[in-house]
Amino acid sequence: MFRRLLVPIIVLVGVGACLICGFWMVKERSLNINQWFVGGMDFGVDVSSYQTDVDFEKLAEQGVKFAYIKATEGDSHKDPSFKEKWAAVEGTEVLSGAYHYFSYGVSGVKQAENYIETVGDLGGRLIPAVDMELTTEEVYNPPEKEAVVRGLKAFMALIEEKYQVKPMIYSRQDYYEKYLADDFASYPRWVTNVYLPIWIESGDGWVVWQYNDKGILEGYGGEKYIDFNAVNSSFGLDSLKMK
C-alpha cells in the first residue's frame, strides 16, 4: 500500500516545492513572470535622474517604443536631468512624454504651473502623466481622500486647459480604489503590478502597465535598473499621442 502511494507523494512534494520556489523567486524579483504576458504590446520605459546619460537610440535598438521622463515634483522641484533627456530623445524613434510626481499638502494649481513651465509645448509628444503614490512615511500617515481629490482636480483642470487632453494617472490598484475611482474613472490609467499579471486585480481598462521595475537594458548609466512598461493592445500607443 505504501509503495503504491510513494510515487504520488513524491510528485505532490515535488510540485509543492516547485510552487514554493516559484513564489519565492517572484517575490524576490529573480523571476518576472509578467514578461510572458506582454508579447505584442508596445514596449516602453520611464526614467528620471536615477538613470544618467540615457542613449535613446540605443534603447530603441532594444525595442523601446516610448519613454516617460520625470519632469517635476510638487510646486517647485524640477528633475535635474529632465531638460537633457527631453532634448536627447527628440528626433529619435522613441516617442516621449513627461510626468509629474504629485505632492500632498501643496497647491494643485502651483504643481500644474510647475509642470507647464518646465515642460512647455507637447506637440509631437505623449499626453501628460501624473504619478499618484505614497511614500513609505505617507503609507503610515496617509493624506485624507478629500484633500487628495481636491488637489488633483485643481491640477488636472489647469493641465487640461493648457494641453486640451485628459492626463494619464499612474497608481497602484489599492491607491486607485481608495483615492481615485470615484472621481477620476474617466482618465486613462497607467497601472502597476511588478509581480503578477495586471488584469488579476485591475481588469483590462488600463492603458499602460508598469510590469517590471527591475528591468535591465543597455544605454544608460547611474541606477542599474529601469522600469519596463507595456501599452494595452486594446488602446495602442497612438492613443497616447497628442492630437
Q: Where are the domains of the chain?
A: 1-31, 35-240
Cα separations (Å) of 205 from 13, 32, 174, 227?
39, 22, 15, 21
Confidence label for 241 from pLDDT (cuts 50, 70 and 90): very high
Q: What is the pTM of this model?
A: 0.88
140-193 per-position pLDDT tens digit = 999 999 999 999 999 999 999 999 999 999 999 999 999 999 999 999 999 999
10-26 per-position pLDDT tens digit = 444 444 443 333 444 44
- Strand residue runs (E) in the chain: 43-47, 51-52, 66-73, 77-78, 95-101, 129-131, 168-171, 189-192, 208-215, 221-222, 226-231
Query: What is the C-alpha to C-alpha distance for residues 74 and 24, in angstroms, rounded to an integer?
Result: 37
Q: How many angstroms separate the most distant Cα atoms in the chain?
A: 78
Q: Please report the pLDDT score of residue 38 as a whole number.
A: 95
State the pairing for strand pair 168-171/51-52: unpaired
pLDDT at 111 over 70: yes
CB 175 within 8 A of CB 133: yes
Identify the residue whose cell numbers are 488633483: 152
Domain 35-240: CATH superfamily is Glycosidases (3.20.20.80)
Nearest Cα neighbor of 228 from 44, 23, 38 is: 44
Cβ neighbours of residue 138 under 8 Å, at least 6 residues apart?
104
All three cell numbers of 130: 501624473
Query: What is the C-alpha to C-alpha distance for residues 76 and 198, in angstroms, rounded to an integer?
Result: 33
In the chain, the N- to C-terminal Cα span, in Å, equals 72
Beta-carbon count within 10 A of 19 CB: 10
46-93 per-position pLDDT tens digit = 999 999 999 999 999 999 999 999 999 999 999 999 999 999 999 999
Cα separations (Å) of 89 from 55, 59, 83, 85, 116?
8, 10, 10, 6, 19
